[in-house]
Amino acid sequence: MHSHFDPAKCQTVSEILSRIGDKWSVLIIMKLGSGPSRFSDLKRSVVGISQRMLTLTLRALERDGLVSRTVHPTVPPSVVYELTDLGRSLSKPIEAMGGWVFCNHEKIHEARAEFDSRYAASDENSAELHKP
Amino acid sequence: MHSHFDPAKCQTVSEILSRIGDKWSVLIIMKLGSGPSRFSDLKRSVVGISQRMLTLTLRALERDGLVSRTVHPTVPPSVVYELTDLGRSLSKPIEAMGGWVFCNHEKIHEARAEFDSRYAASDENSAELHKP
DNA sequence: CGGGATCCAACGCGATACTG
DNA sequence: CAGTATCGCGTTGGATCCCG
């Protein structure tokens, strides 16, 4: 049976998807899906992330109960992040999305290329050469 | 065996998820999942969206080949948007995400409440940050 | 009716510097 | 090592006006 798209459910889905669907959350969840990581590990694995965004995203994920944060009071402090049960259960639909993207991203890029070439033909000489 | 989270795949997934995971795309895809809609229909169904964001989001979805745009040259022009086959296939993993959210959003809100109350104790005026 | 163009406010996010 | 604090700019997105 198919679920209908009732408005209330949609908005909740949208809200959560906006949260976990941002650029960095998915990458972090995917990385943590293969095991716990320390802060520096994450920073190295998630290429291009700033320490600020890593901290903010981790706190958001922790706040949502998807990631746990464990501080080991060693002399150089080490903090280990790990998916909670909730976070691990989220990995499944994310993997489903991942599978879909893996199967269809070529079609998307083809569609984009076609769309762009069609659009560029009618607007090719309006490229902005000067900016205020 | 199941897919590991290899970096290349993750970044592609992240990119697409960022695109379709934004606030409005999901709502529009969900709405179109129940059948074709005209521009005004969508504007009315997707509560809170501005005509600008509706236009921009629809064009992005069209560019990605997820939505088709059909113009009927009637005297009052009418434009009908509809999911493509690709868009319909995307509905499935989105529904999977939706199902997960539907089952777990209470846990998320509980986790947030607990996190906020714990955090508010040490910084009581940070509660104001979450208000519109 | 559908949507492009423009102005402007808000904030997301990176870069940098400083703590414990 | 694992953050926090501050600044600054680029992008996002709403409001408004106008056009086919």
Per-residue pLDDT at B4: 53
- Residue B128 in this model has a pLDDT that exceeds 90: no
CA distances from B14 to A4, A58, A109, B119 (A): 27, 16, 15, 30
pLDDT of amino acid B68: 97
Q: Give me the residues of A, 53-112, that contact B with CB < 8 A.
A: 62-66, 86, 89-90, 92-102, 104-105, 107-108, 110-112
Of residues B59 and B8, the one with the higher pLDDT is: B59
Collapsing DSSP to helix, strand or coil, A68 comes out as strand
> Among residues B33, B20, B7, B13, which one has the least CA distance to residue A95?
B13
Position A129 scores a pLDDT of 37
Burial zone of A115 (CB within 10 Å; 0-12 exposed, 13-18 middle, 19+ buried): middle
A36 CB within 8 Å of a chain B CB: no
Alpha-carbon gap: A32 to the closest alpha carbon of chain B (Å): 9
pLDDT reading at A89 higher than 50: yes
Chains A, B: CB pairs < 8 Å: 163
Q: Indicate yes or no: CB of A14 within 8 angstroms of CB of B27.
A: yes
Q: What is the DSSP string of B18-41?
A: HHHTSHHHHHHHHHHTTS-EEHHH
Pairing status of strand B37-38 against strand B78-83 = antiparallel
pLDDT band at B12 (very low <50, low <70, confident <90, very high): confident
Distance CA B36, CA B23 (A): 20
Residues B7/A28, Cβ–Cβ less than 8 Å: no
Assigned CATH class of A7-129: mainly alpha
- Would the pLDDT of B125 be above 80? no
Q: Determine the pLDDT at residue A4.
A: 53
How confident is the model over A3-39, as pLDDT tens digits? 555 666 667 777 887 888 788 998 899 899 999 999 9
User: Could you tell me the pTM of the whole model?
Assistant: 0.85
Task: Give me chain B's average pLDDT, please.
Answer: 85
Rounded distance between C-alpha atoms, residue A122 and residue A117, angstroms: 9
- What mean pLDDT, rounded, does chain A reach? 85
Pick the residue with more confidence: B100 or B127? B100
Q: How many CA atoms lie within 13 A of B75 on its CB side?
A: 0
- Non-local (6+) Cβ contacts of A76 within 8 A are none
Residues of B in contact with A42 (CB under 8 A): none
Q: Is pLDDT of A123 > 60?
A: no
Name the one residue in this structure whose structure tokens are 């679920």: A3
- End-to-end Cα spacing for chain B: 46
Q: How far is A25 from chain B (nearest CA, A)?
A: 9
Of A84-93, A123-132, B52-61, B95-104, least confident by mean pLDDT is: A123-132
**Of the partner residues A16, A64, A101, the one whose CB lies closest to the CB of residue B13:** A101
Residue A46 near residue B33, CB atoms below 8 Å: no
Q: Where are the domains of chain A?
A: 7-129
Nearest to A34 by CA among B13, B106, B83, B3: B3
**Nearest to B115, CA basis, from A89, A3, A67:** A67
Task: Name the one residue in this structure whose structure tokens are 């990385």.
Answer: A31
> What confidence tier does B122 reach under pLDDT thresholds 50, 70, 90?
low
Return the percentage of chain B with pLDDT > 70, whole number.
83
- Name the nt closest to A41 by C-alpha to C1': D1
Q: Evaluate whether A89 touches B100 at the Cβ level (below 8 Å).
A: yes
Q: Answer yes or no: do B23 and A14 touch at CB < 8 A.
A: yes
